[in-house]
Structure formats: C-alpha cells, structure tokens
Amino acid sequence: MSTVPLLLLLVVASAGAGDGAAPASNARPCASPAASAYPFCNATLPFPARARALVSLLTLDEKIAQLSNTAAGAPRLGVPPFEWWSESLHGVCDNGPGVNFSSGPVRSATIFPQVILSAAAFNRSLWRAAARAIAVEARAMHNAGQAGLTFWAPNINVFRDPRWGRGQETPGEDPAVVSAYSVEYVKGFQGDYGEEGRMMLSACCKHYIAYDLEKWRGFTRYTFNAKVNAQDMEDTYQPPFKSCIQEGRASCLMCSYNQVNGVPACARKDILQRARDEWGFQGYITSDCDAVAIIHENQTYTASDEDSIAVVLKAGMDINCGSFLIRHTKSAIEKGKVQEEDINHALFNLFSVQLRLGFFDKTNENQWFTQLGPNNVCTTEHRELAAEAVRQGTVLLKNDNGFLPLKRSEVGHIALIGPAANDPYILGGDYTGVPCHSTTFVKGMQAYVPKTTFAAGCKDVPCNSTDGFGEAIEAAKRADVVVLIAGLNLTEETEDHDRVSLLLPGRQMDLIHTVASVTKKPVVLVLMGGGPVDVSFAKHDPRIASILWIGYPGEVGGNVLPEILFGKYNPGGKLPITWYPESFTAVPMDDMNMRADASRGYPGRTYRFYTGDVVYGFGYGLSYSKYSYSILQAPKKISLSRSSVPDLISRKPAYTRRDGVDYVQVEDIASCEALQFPVHISVSNDGAMDGSHPVLLFASSKPSFPGSPIKQLVGFERVHTAAGRSTDVEITVDPCKLMSFANTEGTRVLFLGTHVLMVGDEEHELLIEA
C-alpha cells in the first residue's frame, strides 16, 4: 500500500518543476519539502488559520491566477495547479476539463441512469448509495490523476416546464423530492470524515437560482431574465438549495447565467449571502461557465467588464468558470473597482475547501479513500446498483388486461423496433462519460430470447422519414411479441436546447400506428427520454397494451428491460413530473409563475398548481401487483397553543386572519420539531407478485386561498410488500416545512383548520388549531 504516496511524490516533483499544465493533477503541495515549512502546511493549526496563512503569502498576481476553474497554483510556494471543474451527474463524465478518460489507467466509469429515472424510484437509500458509488469511482480516478476533487453536481433546479432540455438531469418537479434527492446525493458524495468538515470529495448545488430555460424561441439562458415573485421563490425555487446546503452541507454553490428580477444571479448579493448567513453555507461559490463575461457583454447589466467583476466578487462569488477574471481582475483593481480584500475573501473560501479535501495534507495514507484505484471503478457491485436504479425507477404507465409480464414459454420470437433499440449512445442522456460496458436493448433481449429481431423503423430519433417502415412491418408480422422503443434523445432535449413540442418526434407516432396495426397481439411501447411526452394516442389505443417509461437508463438499460418485461422484477416507479398534453406548449416557457391565473388563461405549473388536463399525473405509476392503503394512525388534531412545548408560538396573538382564513406564520413557530408527527400506513399487496414501490403521502388544506397548492407531497417511503401480504410504514410529517406554503409576500404560512392527508384513495382529516 506504500505505492500510492510514492506515486504522489513523483507527480508533485514534476508539477513543482514548473510544468503546471496537467489540469486534474493529484499532486499535493504539502508533500513537497519546499512547501512543508510554511504555516499553511502546519497540521497543528486549524483550517481557517492555514487558509489565511496561504492567502497572506501570495502576491496579487498569484491571487488573481486562482480565480478561475483552472487555478494556476503558486510554483514558488510549491502549490500545484488545481482544476475545480469535474462533473459527476450520474457517473463520472468528461464534460468538464477535470476528468480525462485517456490520460491514465481508468478508461471508463459506471453510467448510472439519468437522474430523472433514479428520482422515479423515490428511494432515499438508493440515491445515497448511487452517489456514494459515483464518488468512489471519482475518487479512484482522482487518485490516478484523472479527475479533480471538486465536482459540479447535482443539478437541483426544479423541473418547472416540461420542455426544459435539462429537466432530465434533475429529480423532477416537486421541491420536496428535489430537496430530498439533493441531501442524499451530497451526503453520499462528499462523505463526512469528522473534524473540521473533512470530505472525500466536494459536491455542488447548481444552478442557483431560477435557472431552468436553455434556448426556447427568442430566449437563451445567457440573457434570460427570470421574473420570479416572492411567493414562488420561497416555496418552489429556493427549497432545494436550502436543503442542499442546510441538511446536505454541500461545499459548493454555482450561481447561474440568468438574471433574477433584472439582476444577474451571480451578482445577487442578497441571494448568495442568504446561503451563508441563514443556511450556514461553508464552501465556495463558482459561476456557471462564462457567466461573468456575459454580464457586461451580453446582458449589458454593467458598464464595463471591470464592473462585472466588482459586482460578483462583492456579491460573494469566489471563482469564475472560465478565464474572464484572470484577464480582467488586475485592471478592475487598478481602476479601484475591486479591492484586494475582495479577492482575499474568495481565496479564503477556496483554500478552506481544499484543506477540507485533504489537498494540503502531508500524507494521506490514513484515509481509506486515498487507497482507491482503478479496481474500484466499473465494479460488479456498481453495475448491479445501476441496474437496481433502473429497476426501481422504471414506470409502468399502462398495462391492459395484465398483458405484462410476458411469459417466457409464450415468446419464441420477439421483435424490438425503434431507432434507439440497438444504439448504445442513447442510453445515458446528457452528462454521460465513457461507459464500462453498454448493453443495448437488443443485446439485453437476446440474452433472454435468442430469437430477437431488430428493425430501426426510423434512421434515428428525429425520424424524418418512413424509409425504414417496411422492414419494421416485416419484423413485426413475424414476431410473437413486439416491443416498440420510442421517445426522445439529445437531439430533442439537452443543454442549450429546449423542446418546442411534447409530441413524439417526427414520424415516430406513424411508426407506432403502422406497426401496431400488423402485429398478432397488441404491442408494448417503451418510452425513453427525460421530459414528458404526450402519448395520449397510445394511452387510448387498444392495440398498444402496455406502456413503460424507462428515462435514460444508463449503460445497463438493456439488461434490465427484459427483467421487467418478463416479470423478474415487478416495476413500481412513479412519475416525478407531470406529463402534460401538447396544448401546454401554448404556455410561454419564460413565464416563471407557478400559480394558475384564470384571468389570463394561465394554467399554472406542476401538480401543485396546474389546473389543466394531464396525460399522466405526478406520482402516477402502476405495478404488476395492486396496492391498497389504510392509514392506521395519524393525529386528528394538532393544537399549537396546547402543545407540550411552552411558548410554541412566539407571537401574540398567535394567528392572523386574512380573507376569512386563519393562519400562523411558520417563523413564529418556535419549535417545528415539536410539531412533527408520524403517520402509520398499512400497505397491502393485493396482487400475485411481490413488489416494491413508493408510498406517496400528500396533504391539502380545506381552507383555500388564492395561491394555495392543490395538494403537496408531505412524505414518501419506498416499501417492499410480498404478494397477499401487507407492510406497515411510518412516515414523519414536518408541517412547518411541507404542509405550509408561501403567501404573496413570500412568508411561509400554515393554515389553521382542516387538512387532509391522502395516500392512494385513503384520506384522513387533521385539524390544526391555534
């Protein structure tokens, strides 16, 4: 085990020799004799003192050279360069310069399903385990000199509009689910190694804030001014970031390109400082890439490049992704717009994170993760966990007469039809690195049914011609069962590209109709993609027996699909996003309002506020079993003034009345913990197959008020229930956080009066009184 430190020393030696080019080096400053005498390497001093010591040793030019994702280091002090930008959304990937799959022994990494599919599992321990596995691979790559220590994931913007090209990267539309995912990802990824906030790696909550438009009609993310009211900010846009910081203890925030009410997000001092002052954020704030350069050049928010730098550094941003600050900060200082003190603040935050990551440790033999190497990447265990995420996330949307699961004995010949069926490059969605071993759907199916035939039907996902239809028809006619694989690819939805339609691309719908009209039996439709698709036609067409949504399932997608089709695994995933009809595209994507407004024909967004028809609703998903629920135990009444906690309400009178409705302000509740209550639910599996699925507990309040949510998710728990049996599950509800919502001033309020808890068809009334 002594080979690892030795290797490190060699790398340090070469970096110290002035070749500072390799961006994601794993060199350590304090391992070099030159640096070890400096106080920033003195392990008996606390981290803040060491960070300040290093800042004090740097010249102004050396300081400025730190303000980029590709930080130059200070060769004079033995400090090697540092690359802040690596990516790991659903597996280590090379979208940032920190990761390189060809510069060392690690040539690939496990591609987990795209986040939106894992989200559909609604399983916190799965999310945590996947983040942890990604971190193990990331750290192993770092140790091999092929990745950095700081990664820019997760993406926790709420999936507000179904057209958003990056909605696939997120855990969906519900702020509570996105919050919960962010906490598990960050905790799993960063690890927590005791004193002084030590971490194995750093995760980043992005994009702060109200970023969820790429390029749509005349709008682009670089200049989009997101007009967000105080109410939506408080109960939709902000909660994931608050949880990611407060509970997840993330060590990085990324400020986004867009403006928020006329001010660039990276220049919103109030918003950036809220994280530090109110949520206890300790870490660094990076801009999105080139987000500072555009402030003057493209947003014309400032009068000069120097002014842009002043406004972001003073707002609390620490590094800029890109070279803009390296090029213009000196001149900003000379013009008196930026003071050296502004830079010192930033460097203190940056070095503090590096210290917590062990970058300034003299030796790192004592940490288990410093011993990780190529053997810890692409392991069977990680592949199995990725498969588990696909199994748990896949959503069964339709299953007429129990058409699925298929019986092996009855399927001698199966046809897979669709351009995605045999394409290994479609499985990961965006932010996909180099997979260890991608299994296409055709390959995976052949392992189950040797006589599997494939016909693309369309040349590619955009499906602009019917040229391949003939071949598809022939294949379909001969098969016992036909599985059509349709849906989206990055040509429709990706970074810098939103969709304009919610329908299947090109002639895909024609292909499905054509094939379904010639088959012996009804067909199975498997939908890929991150964003929802309006498949109303398929929902109502009896020739399409079953519909499954499999997101972007990652490298093991092809292995798992047959497991589900043949019932080796009983699907139980639930949609983390509303599937809207095509008519929703009449809603302007740039309208950030969540709440419906009948006076202007605005239907609202997400299951909490949307008043229109859906194709499939948030939380929808079937199983090969049928589950029913009963609420065994839950309070009937919660009395704020007669609580066992004295002075639970800090304000007198305890409540306010407006528009005939009584409510308390959440900030006036002294102990939200004391208000939490458990709900005991019995889950019965009334079907013939064992199965696991998430129990989603919603609440709505009887008194309603313009802007109160239709209902909201107040808890979820995935449970396994054997056929014919029942399982009891306990869900703890936090009324302050999840039964409340924001009023128009952005103040969180909890209604007094009757609330209804709902799980499946079961309802339970609960009175909250003052």
Ligand X SMILES: *[C@@H]1O[C@H](CO)[C@@H](O)[C@H](O)[C@H]1NC(C)=O
> Does the protein bind ligand X through residue 490 (CB under 6 A)?
yes
Residue type, 94: D
Of the listed pieces 12-20, 210-218, 483-491, 509-517, which binds ligand X according to CB under 6 A? Answer: 483-491
Q: Of 56, 59, 464, 633, which lies in the binding site for ligand X, with binding defined by CB under 6 A?
A: 464
Q: Judge contact between 412 and 78, C-beta under 8 A.
A: no
Of the listed pieces 98-106, 624-632, 656-664, 740-748, which binds ligand X according to CB under 6 A? Answer: 98-106
Q: Active site includes 232?
A: no
Q: Of 355, 291, 337, nearest to 317 (Cα)? A: 291
Count of residues of this chain found to bind ligand X when the rule CB under 6 A is applied: 33
Q: Which two tokens stand for residue 589?
A: 């994507």
> Does the protein bind ligand X through residue 460 (CB under 6 A)?
yes
Per-residue x/- marks for ligand X, 120-139, CB under 6 A? ---x-xx--x----------
Q: 134 vs 750, which CB is nearer to ligand X?
A: 134
Q: Of 7, 227, 297, 756, which lies in the binding site for ligand X, with binding defined by CB under 6 A?
A: 297
> Does the protein bind ligand X through residue 388 (CB under 6 A)?
yes
Q: 321 vs 346, which CB is nearer to ligand X?
A: 321
> Does the protein bind ligand X through residue 102 (CB under 6 A)?
yes
> Does the protein bind ligand X through residue 42 (CB under 6 A)?
yes
Q: Of 14, 95, 103, 371, which lies in the binding site for ligand X, with binding defined by CB under 6 A?
A: 103
Q: Which residue has the tokens 């040793």?
A: 57
Q: Of 79, 250, 291, 461, which lies in the binding site for ligand X, with binding defined by CB under 6 A?
A: 461
How far apart are the C-alpha atoms of 112 and 119, rounded to whole Å? Answer: 12
> Does the protein bind ligand X through residue 313 (CB under 6 A)?
no
How far apart are the C-alpha atoms of 651 and 150, rounded to whole Å? Answer: 44
Q: Judge contact between 110 and 64, C-beta under 8 A.
A: no
Q: Which of residues 218-277 bind ligand X (CB under 6 A)?
A: 222
> Does the protein bind ligand X through residue 184 (CB under 6 A)?
no
Q: 463 vs 757, which CB is nearer to ligand X?
A: 463
Query: Is residue 19 classed as helix, strand or coil in its secondary structure?
Result: coil
List all residues 6 or more positions away from 507 whose beta carbon is below 8 Å from its beta carbon. Answer: 458, 463, 464, 465, 466
Q: 373 vs 462, which CB is nearer to ligand X?
A: 462
Q: Which of residues 716-755 bind ligand X (CB under 6 A)?
A: 718-720
- Catalytic pick among 94, 161, 174, 288: 288
Q: Of 607, 594, 577, nearest to 711 (Cα)? A: 607
> Does the protein bind ligand X through residue 95 (CB under 6 A)?
no
Min separation Cβ 49 and ligand X, Å: 8
Of the listed pieces 3-11, 186-194, 440-448, 484-492, which binds ligand X according to CB under 6 A? Answer: 484-492
Q: Which of residues 45-84 bind ligand X (CB under 6 A)?
A: 45
Q: Which two tokens stand for residue 193?
A: 């190694």
Per-residue x/- marks for ligand X, 418-437, CB under 6 A? -xx--x-xx-----------
Of the listed pieces 274-282, 458-466, 647-655, 673-681, which binds ligand X according to CB under 6 A? Answer: 458-466
How far apart are the C-alpha atoms of 711 and 607, rounded to whole Å? Answer: 8
CA R_g for the chain: 27
Q: Report the side by side order of strands in the sheet with 319-321.
A: 205-208, 252-255, 284-289, 319-321
List all residues 6 or more positions away from 395 whose beta carbon is below 8 Å from its beta carbon. Answer: 120, 548, 549, 571, 573, 574, 575, 620, 621
Q: Report the side by side order of strands in the sheet with 762-769.
A: 637-639, 762-769, 753-759, 691-701, 712-721
Buried b (16+ CB within 10 A) or exposed e, 328-348: bbbebbeeebbeeebbeebbb
Of the listed pieces 57-65, 99-107, 443-451, 559-567, which binds ligand X according to CB under 6 A? Answer: 99-107
Min separation Cβ 427 and ligand X, Å: 9
Q: 126 vs 176, which CB is nearer to ligand X?
A: 126
> Does the protein bind ligand X through residue 155 (CB under 6 A)?
no
Beta bridge partners of 662: 657
Q: Judge contact between 201 and 207, C-beta under 8 A.
A: no
Of the listed pieces 67-75, 457-465, 629-637, 669-677, which binds ligand X according to CB under 6 A? Answer: 457-465
Per-residue x/- marks for ligand X, 675-714, CB under 6 A? -----------------x----------------------
Q: 100 vs 514, which CB is nearer to ligand X?
A: 100
How far apart are the C-alpha atoms of 199 and 70, rounded to whole Å? Answer: 21
Beta bridge partners of 479: none
Per-residue x/- marks for ligand X, 653-672, CB under 6 A? --------------------
Min separation Cβ 432 and ligand X, Å: 9
How far apart are the C-alpha atoms of 561 and 567, rounded to whole Å? Answer: 10
Q: Judge contact between 672 and 761, C-beta under 8 A.
A: no
Of the listed pieces 415-423, 466-474, 605-613, 747-755, which binds ligand X according to CB under 6 A? Answer: 415-423
How far apart are the C-alpha atoms of 151 and 205, rounded to whole Å? Answer: 10
> Does the protein bind ligand X through residue 291 (CB under 6 A)?
no
> Does the protein bind ligand X through residue 343 (CB under 6 A)?
no
Give 189-247 as a DSSP string. Answer: HH---SGGG--SSB--EEEETT----EETTEETTT-EE---HHHIIIIISHHHHHHHHT
Q: Judge contact between 528 and 420, C-beta under 8 A.
A: yes
Catalytically active residues are 288
Q: Which residues bind ligand X (CB under 6 A)?
A: 42, 44-45, 97, 100, 102-103, 123, 125-126, 129, 222, 294, 297-298, 388, 392, 419-420, 423, 425-426, 460-462, 464, 489-491, 692, 718-720
